[in-house]
Amino acid sequence: MMSENKFDHLENFSIGGMFYKTRLTDKFVKRSRYVEYDPHLIKAFIPGTIVEVFVRKGSRVEEGQKLLLLEAMKMRNVVVAPISGRVKQLWVKENDLVSKNQLMIELE
């Protein structure tokens, strides 16, 4: 890590309108960027398995309607539509493993 070349790889880092020459940490570089919530994108809130899909591409859905059954940690979670609309794209099928924040359904 910091050895004789500790002053290599310096970046310009802005804080309070000033630029400082400094090193960035891996954790800082890899930090997750904020993405604004979009109710059209139905993402997995927990990693798990898709047990059942209740809608098809093109289905009309009402707010609160069941979309999927996502099993995680031995619990079956009903994923419902946060808004009314149409299923633009279905990205998962039954028995798929999904990771956290994976896109499952796109509404329009």
Partner 1 sequence: MGLKEKSTDLRRRMRNALRGGGEKAIQKQKAIGKLTARERIIALLDHNTFHEYDLFVEHAGKDFDMDKKYLPGDGVITGTGMIMGHPVCIYAQDFTVAGGSLGWMHAKKITKIMDHALKLKVPLIGINDSGGARIQEGVNSLAGYGEIFYRNTLASGVIPQISVILGPCAGGAVYSPALTDFVFVVENISKMFITGPEVIKTVLGEEISMEALGGARVHCETTGNAHFFAESEQQCFDQIKNLVSYIPWNNTRKAVKYPKKRPNTKRYKIENIIPSDPREPYDVRDIIKAVTDDSAFLEVQDLFAQNIVIGFGRMEGETVGFVANQPLVLAGVLDVDSSDKAARFIRYCDSFNIPLVTLVDLPGYLPGVDQEHAGVIRHGAKILYAYSEATVPKITLIMRKAYGGGYIAMCSHHLRADFVFAWPTAEIAVMGPEGAANIIFRKEIASADDPEAYRKLKVEEYKEKFANPYVAAAYGYIDAVIEPVETRKMLIRALDISKDKEVSLPAKKHGVPPF
Given the complex with partner 1, which of 63 and 94 has the nearer CB atom? Answer: 94
Q: Which residues have CB under 8 Å from 3's CB, separation 6+? A: none
Q: Would you count residue 27 as binding partner 1 (CB under 8 A)? A: yes
Q: Would you count residue 83 as binding partner 1 (CB under 8 A)? A: no
Q: Centre a 10 Å sphere on the Cβ of residue 59 and count the other Cβ atoms it contains.
A: 16
Q: Which of 4, 8, 26, 108 binds partner 1 (CB under 8 A)?
A: 26
Given the complex with partner 1, which of 22 and 65 has the nearer CB atom? Answer: 22
* CA dist., res. 53 & res. 93, Å (int): 7
Name beta bridge partners: 70. Answer: 50, 77
Tell me which residue of 64, 66, 68, 60 sits closest to 91, measured CA to CA: 68
Q: Would you count residue 76 as binding partner 1 (CB under 8 A)? A: no
Could you list the residues that contact partner 1 (CB under 8 A)?
1-2, 6-7, 10, 13, 15-28, 31-34, 47-49, 72-73, 97-99
